[in-house]
Amino acid sequence: MDWYGLANFASGNYKNIEMEEIELLKEELRQTKLAYQMAAQMSQFKSGFLARTSHEVRSPLSSLMGLHQLIINDLCENPEEEREFIAQAYESAKKLMQIIDQFIAVSQLESGSTPVDLESIEISSIFEEIDALVHLQAASNRLPVEILSADRPIYVVADRARLQQVLLTLIDTAISVMKKNSIQGQTRVRAIAAENSNLVKIEINVHRCPGYIWTEPVNLLEQKTNITPEEVRNFSKELEMSPGMKFMLCSSLLETMAGQLILKDLSAESNDAHLTQLQCLIPLDRG
């Protein structure tokens, strides 16, 4: 090869290297932007922790006080209705205790007072257990859940009971949100292990806009003097932990296993204007 050919060869190699470096820089920039968006998203979500926790505790407490107010003010039509309100008040008190117990359980995991039992888990075994648990609920609500098997075995390092709790909670929330808003659609669950990543991504599609997960309306029972029995009945029936609080608790549980929970808006990539994807990131066990 003459000098001219050698120069062209060197120049071509240099350009190829230069293009590779540019592509690497672009990918690093994309990953940095993604990490920033994720951090900003979680910061926005967790900044309202105190207000959200207060709301979650106040809702069953407000129901409890409203029911007692009806009884104290002799607004019950007969002894049977009074007993009905006492039973409803007891159920509200139980819901309040359940919410407080969940807060305590997560705080104990975060503080390390309750150990996290990490082990190697094959994802398909978790999926089989979850499918058996959610199948009937999804069928009864006519909101099918499709849990897709991976094309190869995928192992993660996690606490089996906690991971199952997180996935069940998120799938149950997806079904509840769609049912409450009369939205038809299929909740799809699948696991992906990228070759260049140390994390396994479990995707759960929810047919609702991302903002709803943490900005759903706060529906508290107003403390007014003229409370009708029907208002109290309706409010007590709707008592449940909000999607936003469930998301926050699941996020905290995943963090105790070195994982992460992310919300991704897929509306621009699909025909569904309100499609959100919940992504559970779990450490991959490469064995």
Q: What is the pLDDT of residues 94-153, one digit of tens each?
A: 888 888 888 888 888 778 888 889 999 999 999 999 888 887 777 666 777 888 888 889
DSSP string, 192-233: EE-TT-SEEEEEEEEES-HHHHHH----PPP--S---HHHHH
Mean pLDDT of the 218-238 span: 54
pLDDT on residue 156: 95
171/268 same-domain check? yes
Considering the domain architecture, whether residues 60 and 38 belong to the same structural domain is answered as no
227-236 residue pLDDT tens = 566 666 665 5
Q: Are strands 155-159 and 199-207 parallel, antiparallel or unpaired?
A: unpaired
Q: What phi-psi label fits residue 45: left (phi over 0), alpha (psi between -120 and 50 degrees) or beta?
A: alpha
174 & 193 share domain: yes
How far is it, in rounded angstroms, from Cα 201 to Cα 199? 6
The reply to whether 42 and 54 lie within a common domain is: no
Considering the domain architecture, whether residues 35 and 67 belong to the same structural domain is answered as no
User: Residue 277's pLDDT is what?
Assistant: 84
Structural domains of the chain, count = 2
- Quickly count helices (H) and strands (E) in the chain: 8, 7
The CATH number that applies at residue 227 is: 3.30.565.10
Residue 259 — very low, low, confident or very high, per pLDDT cuts 50/70/90?
very high
Q: Is a pLDDT exceeding 80 seen at residue 12?
A: no
Looking at the structure, tell me whether residues 13 and 127 fall in a common domain.
Answer: no
Assess whether 67 and 41 both reside in one domain: no
Do 10 and 122 have their domain in common? no
Claim to verify: residue 115 and residue 179 sit in the same structural domain: yes
Residues 31 and 56 in one domain: no
Range of the domain at 14: 1-46
Residues 16 and 134 in one domain: no
Residues 212 and 107 in one domain: yes
